[in-house]
Amino acid sequence: MLKANTTMSCATKSDAMVTACLPTPVMVTCPQGNKVAGNPPDYASAATMKCKVCSQTASVIDKDPAAGKYWIIFSFGDLRSVTGAYVPNVGHYEVYWVDEHGRPYALLSTANRIAKITGPPMTPTCCASEKELYRVAVAGAFPKSYDGKMRLGVRPVSKAGAALPFVAFSNAIADATSTTTPVKSFTGNVEIAMSDAAANVIKADVSKFKMVMAKSLAATMTGVNADDVIIKQVYVNGVAQMRRLQATQRRLAATVKVDYEVITTDMNVQVAAVNPAALKTAIEAESIKAGLPVVVTALPVVSTPVASRTDAPTQAPTQAPTQAPTQAPTQAPTQAPSNNTGGGGGVTDPPIATTDAPGRIFSMLVAMLALGAHLLF
């Protein structure tokens, strides 16, 4: 075991992805004050990393203006070397919450992972709209002690199970606490008939299917884009797929049900019933683009969206206008002048902004994040 604040040299695995991205040997460091035992050490030679994702969301923002709540979208493209060549043997990408130093808040494990997205079936040869190739959508509640430093980090894992250090990070995500931006939301669900083989493909890559459904639903709703759509749960034959591992049963056909929510700050948006034929077409088209081809065998059964939330902006208190002091009438010279002071409105001190003391968030942060977003992934 590597001791805190020490650096050592390590040999790399014989893996095409690792060889394309890391020198051999590599230098790693165990940071001083590390609180998450079992996680990999820091990669001490970031400048020698030979690959990165070819594109990513430039600025990730919290789309939910309600204080303490978040709704964020993070997209990125495939792994490429510094020479521009696509990196071979990428199995999937994992996304975790990380701190300002790029270290995960919790043990790198399935339970603490935000998303797992399958990589390309073969080494890509061209770049087509790669910014949207992999899309992670997260909604939930920030911890009360949130310090505004949380980021999302992406690490590639090879088909043989070898993992690279984190190769991409979002910006630090601030809690949007607007008191002037209204927000409204609608909830609904869709049932989709397909073959059992297609359903098994979805179960193997639920994160990518969520992206397919967000884009497909948005395409059939006026005034809504994919970033407004949250896929809250995916069921295959009645079994929830997000954050659960289930035994596979052989069937000839399957029904996939999708629960969704639309959150928008456009108060003019009125989400009507989704057109089943248009949705069927959109699902099949978007699934092909995502490399997750699905043939829908019947028109989807759609529910009528129900308004679930309307947050009006918080209005600042209206203060009464300050009245001018009433002047006493001028008295005759033989009478002493009046020294009465007219009553004016008192001055109100501005509110004092309070900032939580800085510090790292450990097990409490992980527990609260999991509680806020466990149904989404």
Question: Which pLDDT tens digit goes with each residue over 49-106?
Answer: 899 998 888 889 898 878 888 989 999 989 999 888 899 999 999 999 999 988 888 8
Q: Output the pTM of the full model.
A: 0.69
CB-based burial, 6-17: b 16+ in 10 Å, e otherwise: eeeeeeeeebbb
Helices (H), 184-296: 196-204, 206-219, 276-289
DSSP codes joined into one string, 321-362: PPPPPPPPPPPPTTSPPP-PPPP-PPPPPPPPP--PPP----
Question: Which pLDDT tens digit goes with each residue over 110-168?
Answer: 888 988 888 876 666 555 544 457 888 888 888 888 899 999 999 999 999 999 999 99
CATH 3.30.1490 fits 183-311, yes or no: no
Question: Which pLDDT tens digit goes with each residue over 180-209?
Answer: 567 788 999 999 999 999 999 999 889 889
The domain spans of the chain are 6-177, 183-311
Give the pLDDT score at 64. 83
Structure confidence at residue 314 as a pLDDT band (50, 70, 90): very low
- Break the chain down into helix, strand, coil percent, rounded to 5: 15, 30, 55
Residue 231 three-state SS: strand
Following CA atoms 15, 21, 27, 29 in sequence, which dihedral angle do they give, to the nearest 10 degrees? -100
**Which range is most confident: 40-54, 75-89, 247-261?**
75-89
**Closest residue by Cα to residue 164 from 28, 25, 17:** 17
